[in-house]
A and B are shown apart, each in its own frame.
Chain A
Amino acid sequence: MFVLSFLARRLLQGFVIIFLVMFLIFTLLRVVPGDPVRLMAGGMAPEALIEQIATQMGLRDPILVQFGRYAAHVVQGDFGQSFVRPADGAATGGAAFNDASRSERAEVLTLVAQTAPRTFQLALTAILMALLISLPLGVAGGLYPGRWPDRLALYLGSIFVSLPNFWLGIVLILLLSVKLAWLPAIGYQGFAWTILPAFVLAIEMAPFMIRTLTVSVAQVMQEYFIAAGPVRGLSRSRVVLRHGLKNASVPLLNLLGVQFSMLLGGVLVVEYIFDYPGLGLLTINAVLQRDFPLIQGIAIITSAAFVLINIAVDLLATTIDPRLDY
C-alpha cells in the first residue's frame, strides 16, 4: 500500500516536472534568436521560400498554439521528426534543402532509441568506476577524520574536481590510445571503446561521491548508537560495518539521483571528444543544427529518466532507512 501511494504521488509530481521541462525548452528555443529554417535551407535560400516552409511547418504560429499542438502529439507518444536528419542516419547538409525529402526525415524517437543504449552503457560503466574509486577513499576518510586517509581523500577530490573533463579526455586519448595504444578511443565498435570515456566521467563524478561519503560516514560515526553499540556488547567492526555504513549509504544514494544531470552534462562533452555515438553527441549536434524537435524530444526523455531514477533512488533509500518519507 505504501509503495503504491508513494509511486502514485511521485509519478504525478514527475509529470509536472516533465511538463515544465517541455514548456521551458519549447519556449526557450523559440524565444532565442536563430531561425532553424534558415539553417535547414542554407544561407542561399530566398526569403520567400523560407517563409513558405516556416509557415508550412507551423513555425510562424503563436508559441502557445505551437506548444499546444506539440504537447498533444507528445501525449500520444509522437515526438515528431527531426528537422535535419534523414531516416538513414547521417545528418544532411543544409545547402541541399529539398522540400520533397521532408517525409523521409528520421523520427525523433527512433534516433533516441538508437543512441540511448550506448549512452546507458557508458553511464553505467562510469558510475561503477566512480564507486570503485570513491568507496574506499570516502569510507576511509570518514572513518579517520583529520588523519591521512581523510587528507588523501581531500587532496585527490580537489584534484579530480579540478580536471576539466574535455582536457582529461584529450590527454588520455593522446597517452593511452595514440602513444601507448592500450585502448581504442575514437568512435564505437565494442565495449572497449566505452572504457576511456567512462573513466573520464568517473573522474568527474568521483570527487562529489568522495566528499559525500566522507561527510556522511564521519557524521554517522558521531551518532550515539555507534558509541553505544560496543557498550551493548557488539564488536566494533560489527557496529561499523552493519550499522554505520548502512546509515551512511543514504546520502550517497541521494547524490546519485542528483548527479544524474551532471552525468548527462559530462556525457555531452565526453561523447563529443571521443566521437562516441550516443545521446550526448546527438544532443550537441541537434543543438548546433537547431533541430528543435530533436532537442525537445531529448529533453523530455532525459527529464523522464531523471524522474524515474529519482523515484527509484528514493524508494531504495526508504527501504534502507524506513524513517524517510518522501
Chain B
Amino acid sequence: MEAPLLGVQGLNVDLALQSGRTRPILRDISFELPAKRTLGLIGASGAGKTVLAKALVNWIEQPLHITGGTIAWRGKDLLGDRQGFGRLRGSKIAYVGGNPAGTLDPTQTVGAQIVEKLLSVQPRTSRREAIEKAVDLLAAVRIPSPSQRFHEYPYQYSGGMMQRALIVDALISDPELLVADNVTQPLDVTVAAQILKLMRELTERFATAVVFVSSSLPVVADIADELLVLHEGRIVERQATRRLVSHPIHAYTQALIGELPTIWQGHGPAERPRGQTTEPLLSVSEVSKTYKVRKRDSFAGYNHVQAVRRANFDIFKGDNFGVVGESGCGKSSLMRLLTRLEPPDTGRIVFDGQDLATCGGSALQKLRRRLQLVLQDPFSSLPPRSPIGAIIEEPLRIHGLGGAKERRRQVRDVMGEVGLDATLIDELPAGLSAGQRQRVNVARAMILEPALLIMDETLSSLDQTEQTKLLNLFERLQAQHGFTYLFISHDLAMVRRVCSRIAVMYLGEIVELAANERLFFDPGHPYTKALLSAVPTLEERRYRPEDCLLEGEPPSPIDLPPGCSFASRCPSAFDRCRSQHPGLTARSSHDLAACFLVEPPRVAARETAGA
C-alpha cells in the first residue's frame, strides 16, 4: 500500500516551564492524511490545536519540545531529518495562520515578498515568471486590480484582502499540503465566508490536501471531509464530518455540539407590549458624527470619516436592544456618543427626558449615574494597580455616595450578586480569568443602580460556557433591578438569543431596525440577509451565502458614494440604488429597513410573518 501524504504517529509535545518541570501539551497524536483530502481539526482554545498545526510545519520552538512520535511525509520520517523538513516548508507544505496583518514584512511590498518566496523555494523560476504567476493568482483570489495591488504594502491591505494574499503566497509554489491555522478567526463573518469559499475553490483546483484548524465547529464542518476533535492535548474523536455532527460519540464532542448557540431554531425574545403613551428611556434622533482624519499625502487636508450617519431609534424600559454590524460599521462610535464620551455633531440623544448631547456639568454627572457602560476588553478595562474592591467602589466615590463602611457593604453585596467571591475584594485583578473580569466590570457598572446598561462587545472575548453564565446573570439582574440593556455586538447568535429589538448597522448607517423574529426570518435589507447567510452554523442554512453576498468589501467610510452604501456589494442592486439614497422605510408599525425593495406595509396580518 502506498504511504499516505502525511502520517503522524504517537506525537508528544511538552512545554518546559520556568520551574524546570514540563507540562504535556500534545499526547499520543496519530492520524493520516491522504493526498487531496481536507481534514478538520477542532478544539477549544488551549486544547493544543495550534501547536499541532505548527508541528506539521516544523515550527515548534522553545519552550515547546517534541518529546516523542513521528511525522512522516509520504512514508519518510521528517523529525529525524529536520533539514529535509525545513526544505519541504514553503515548497511542499504551506502554512497560513491567523495573523494576516503580521505575516509579511511591513516595509516591503506584498508582491515583492510573494515573489521572493517563490524564488526561494523554486530558484529555477525566472523573476518575470514569478511576477506573472503572482499577479495571476492575486486575480484568482479576487483582489481588485491585482497588478496595482502587487506593488502595495501590507498596511494598505485590509484584513480580508491580506488573508487572500497570504493564500496566494501559500499556494503559489503548488504545495501538496496546506495547513490552515485559524485563518478566519480575525475576520468579519461576511469576509470569512468569502475566504472559506476561495480556499475551497483553490485547493480543489490545485489538488491540495488541507489540514484546517479552527475553534469554531460550524466553520470546520463547512470545509472538511473529516474531523478530528482535540481535547486537552489528545484526539478524542475522529469521524467523517457529517457523521460527527449528527452522531458525536465522545462526551466532549457531544458537549461541544450541545452548547453551540442556535439561530434558526426556537424563538428569540419578543418585544414587550407597550401602550401608545410610553415614553422611551433613550431616544436617539438624527444623530450624526464625522471625524476629521488628517490626509496622509497632503499639506493640510483632512478626510471626513462619517462614522455615524443620521441614526434614529428608541429604547424602551426593560428592553434588550441590540446593535449589530461588522468592524468599521460605526457601532463603537455610536457607543461613544451614547455614553457622552463625545458629543454628536448633530441630532439629539434624549435620556430620561434630558438631551445628553447638550447637557453638561452637574446635570450630566447626574445622568451618568443612570447610564453605565460595560466594556469590551476584559484585560485593558480594569486598572491593573487597584484592588478589585476599590475598582467596584470607585463609582460611589466619584459620585460621593455613602460613607466608607456603607460603600464597602454595597461593594460586597454587588460582588455577591454578580457571583464574585467576597475574598477577592482586596486582590488585584491580575489573577482573574476573563469571565471574572467581566463580572467585575458588570459589578462596577451596576453599583450605581443605573437604568440603562450599555454592553459594548462585553461577551465577545469569552467562551460559550462563560457567555451562557453571564447571559443568565444579566437576565436575573434585569428581573431584580429592572435594567434596560443595549448590546453592541458583532455576534448574531448572541443577539438572536437575548435581544428583542435589533438595529443593523452598515457604514455608519442603521440599515434595518426590527424585532428579533422578523429580522432573522424576514430581513428587509439585503445586507442583513448577507450577514445572516454568512453566520457559521451547523443548522440548515436559511440563506445561502452564494445567493446573498457578492464579492468585495465595504467601501471606505471616506468619500462615500452617492446612493445606497451597500450598492457596491448588493446582489439585487439596480440603477436607482447607485444614484439615490434610500432612507429607512417602514415595513410595518415597528420594523424599518433602508432599501428601495422594501414593500410598504399592507395589512396587519403581515406583522406575524415568519413567527
Binding site for B on A (CB under 8 A): 1-2, 5, 8-9, 223-225, 227-235, 238, 243, 246-247, 320-323, 325
Q: Which single member of A225, A227, A233 contacts B105 (CB below 8 Å)? A: A225
Instruction: Evaluate contact between B103 and A322: CB separation under 8 angstroms.
Output: no
Instruction: Evaluate contact between B103 and A228: CB separation under 8 angstroms.
Output: yes
Instruction: Evaluate contact between B153 and A1: CB separation under 8 angstroms.
Output: no
Question: Which residue on A lies nearest to B92, using beta carbons?
Answer: A233
Please, could you name 5 A-B residue pairs with CB atoms under 8 Å apart, sorted by A?
A223-B102, A225-B102, A234-B120, A246-B107, A320-B107
Interface string of B95-122 (1 = CB under 8 A from A): 1010100111111100000001100110
Q: What B residues does A2 contact at CB under 8 A?
A: 296-297
Instruction: Evaluate contact between B116 and A234: CB separation under 8 angstroms.
Output: yes
B90 at the interface (CB under 8 A from A): yes
Question: Which residue on B lies nearest to A249, using beta carbons?
Answer: B107
Closest 10 CB pairs of A and B: A233-B90, A224-B102, A233-B121, A5-B299, A243-B105, A2-B297, A321-B107, A228-B103, A323-B155, A231-B95
B298 at the interface (CB under 8 A from A): yes
Q: In the complex, what's the smallest C-beta–C-beta distance from A14 to chain B, in angstroms?
A: 14
For window 419-447 of B, CB contacts with A under 8 Å fall at: none
Instruction: Evaluate contact between A234 and B107: CB separation under 8 angstroms.
Output: no
B86 at the interface (CB under 8 A from A): yes
**B-side interface size class:** 20 to 34
Question: Which residue on A lies nearest to B88, using beta carbons?
Answer: A233
Instruction: Evaluate contact between A228 and B97: CB separation under 8 angstroms.
Output: yes
Instruction: Evaluate contact between B106 and A231: CB separation under 8 angstroms.
Output: no
Q: A233 with B173: in contact, given A243-B105, A320-B107, A322-B107 (CB under 8 Å)?
A: yes
Binding site for A on B (CB under 8 A): 57-59, 61, 86, 89-91, 94-95, 97, 99, 102-108, 116-117, 120-121, 153, 155, 169-170, 173, 296-300
Instruction: Evaluate contact between B91 and A233: CB separation under 8 angstroms.
Output: yes
Q: In the complex, what's the smallest C-beta–C-beta distance from B236 to chain A, in angstroms?
A: 28
Instruction: Evaluate contact between B95 and A232: CB separation under 8 angstroms.
Output: yes
Instruction: Evaluate contact between B89 and A231: CB separation under 8 angstroms.
Output: yes
How many pairs of residues, A versus B, come closer than 8 Å at their CB atoms? 75
Q: Which of A2, A233, A234, A247 has the most CB of B within 10 A?
A: A233
Query: Chain A at the B interface: mostly helix, strand, loop or mixed?
Result: helix
Instruction: Evaluate contact between A247 and B105: CB separation under 8 angstroms.
Output: yes
Question: Which residue on B lies nearest to A246, using beta carbons?
Answer: B107
Q: Which single member of B103, B106, B169, B296 contacts A325 (CB below 8 Å)? A: B296
Instruction: Evaluate contact between B155 and A225: CB separation under 8 angstroms.
Output: no
Question: Which residue on A lies nearest to B99, using beta carbons?
Answer: A224
Docked Cα-Cα span, A322 to B105, in Å, equals 11
Q: What A residues does B296 contact at CB under 8 A?
A: 2, 325
Docked Cα-Cα span, A112 to B570, in Å, equals 68
Question: Which residue on A lies nearest to B95, using beta carbons?
Answer: A231
Q: What A residues does B91 contact at CB under 8 A?
A: 233
Q: In the complex, what's the smallest C-beta–C-beta distance from A38 to chain B, in angstroms?
A: 49
Q: What A residues does B104 contact at CB under 8 A?
A: 225
Instruction: Evaluate contact between B106 and A247: CB separation under 8 angstroms.
Output: yes
Instruction: Evaluate contact between B86 and A230: CB separation under 8 angstroms.
Output: yes
Q: What A residues does B299 contact at CB under 8 A?
A: 5, 8-9
Q: What B residues does A325 contact at CB under 8 A?
A: 296
Docked Cα-Cα span, A246 to B112, in Å, equals 15
Docked Cα-Cα span, A243 to B108, in Å, equals 8
Q: Which single member of B95, B102, B120, B298 contacts A235 (CB below 8 Å)? A: B120
Question: Which residue on B lies nearest to A244, using beta carbons?
Answer: B105
Q: In the complex, what's the smallest C-beta–C-beta distance from A13 to chain B, in angstroms?
A: 12
Docked Cα-Cα span, A235 to B121, in Å, equals 9
Docked Cα-Cα span, A321 to B173, in Å, equals 28
Q: What A residues does B89 contact at CB under 8 A?
A: 230-233
Q: What A residues does B117 contact at CB under 8 A?
A: 232-234
